[in-house]
Structure 1
Amino acid sequence: MIKVVYPGTFDPPHLGHLDIVKRSCEIFDSVVVAIAKNPRRHLLFSMEERMDMFRRMVECLGDKVEVKGFDGLLVDFMAREGIKVIVRGVRLFTDFEYELQIAMNNYKLAKVETVFMMPSQDYIHISSTIVRDIASYCGDLKGLVHIYVEEKLREKFSCK
């Protein structure tokens, strides 16, 4: 049985993230979405809020997906969970360059492998930064985020 981890801050989670999880479920036996606390970044949502939103997004996938939070090094979380493979979504060459450095260091630290996946063409243009920017102006989020995430963003930015 191959269990993988899909890590990130997911602030907020969007349909590109869901696409990677769905496609990972088709390849691997189970996926743990690992949501980083990441105190070094100024985040819009708490770890608990991000976990709640992601859990709502993946309800349709049943017990193949777990959503967990973590603080600290990803490889330490993976060791506790008994996972040896990371799935990372990459949209652009600049994403790949950064992700490759992280993958190489994770392998050096703990001999974990990283599998890179490109989002489907329908979602390759979406990023959490863009979603936050659109939401901050109460813009249309249709096709970018799950309806529950949209509700939470509208609440956060006091949009009607």
Structure 2
Amino acid sequence: MRALFPGSFDPVTEGHQDVIRRAALLFDEVVVCAMVNASKAGRLLVAERLERLRAAAAGLGNVTVDFHSGGLLVDYCRDAGIDVVVRGVRDGRDLEHEVPMAHMNRELAGVETLFIASDPERAHISSSLVTAVVRTGRVG
């Protein structure tokens, strides 16, 4: 079975890497797809995000990386023959945000969503937090 792990991945975090590794254990193939999020201003160029995603998936033979900039997530799934979307959730707020989208994906195209709870040691990490820390120059 093929699964899609979509996100803006701007930047890729340890939490994303954890979800990629865990999804790779559950599915025959996982497509990690950097997508455009109209509600977020992109910080990294697409090429850099894709390069970082490929590095995050290194050694996982059943993981491929792609980019999608137009149309709905379910359109991508239909075109790629994907029936399951994987989403990492850190807390109740993430789940509250993700569940309505999961319902809509199922309604629109029969695409199911599998939620993977984040590793508690990484649950505080978000792309926004990583970016803020990098801007302070306190990366160690």
TM over 0.5: yes
Instruction: Please give the alpha-carbon distance, in whole angstroms, between the structure 2 residues aligned to 1:87 and 1:100.
Output: 12
Instruction: Please give the alpha-carbon distance, in whole angstroms, between the structure 2 residues aligned to 1:129 and 1:41.
Output: 10
TM norm structure 2: 0.94
2:66 counterpart of 1:68 = yes
Cα deviation 1:44-82 (Å, max 9, x = unaligned): 012222111110111121x21000000221111111110
Instruction: Please give the alpha-carbon distance, in whole angstroms, between the structure 2 residues aligned to 1:29 and 1:120.
Output: 22
Aligned to 2:102: 103
Aligned to 2:89: 90
Instruction: Please give the alpha-carbon distance, in whole angstroms, between the structure 1 residues aligned to 2:17 and 2:99.
Output: 22
> Quick check: 46-55 or 6-15, which moved more?
46-55
Aligned to 1:125: 124
CA positional deviation for 1:41? 2.2
Aligned to 1:30: 29
Aligned to 1:18: 17
Please provide the CA RMSD for this pair.
Answer: 1.1
Instruction: Please give the alpha-carbon distance, in whole angstroms, between the structure 2 residues aligned to 1:122 and 1:136.
Output: 23
CA positional deviation for 1:39? 4.2
Task: Specify every segment of 5 or more residues in structure 1 that has no aligned partner in the other structure, as ranges.
Answer: 142-160
2:58 counterpart of 1:55 = no
CA positional deviation for 1:37? 2.4
More helix by share: 1
2:111 counterpart of 1:112 = yes
Instruction: Please give the alpha-carbon distance, in whole angstroms, between the structure 1 residues aligned to 2:99 and 2:46.
Output: 25
State the secondary structure of the residue aligned to 1:60: coil
More strand by share: 2
Instruction: Please give the alpha-carbon distance, in whole angstroms, between the structure 1 residues aligned to 2:59 and 2:119.
Output: 19
What is the number of residues matched between the two proteins? 139
Task: Specify every segment of 5 or more residues in structure 2 that has no aligned partner in the other structure, as ranges.
Answer: none
Aligned to 1:148: none
Cα deviation 1:18-41 (Å, max 9, x = unaligned): 000101111111110011023442
Q: Which amino acid aligns with 1:115?
A: L
Cα deviation 1:65-105 (Å, max 9, x = unaligned): 00000022111111111000000001110110110011011
Instruction: Please give the alpha-carbon distance, in whole angstroms, between the structure 2 residues aligned to 1:112 and 1:70.
Output: 17
Q: In terms of Rg, which structure is larger?
A: 1
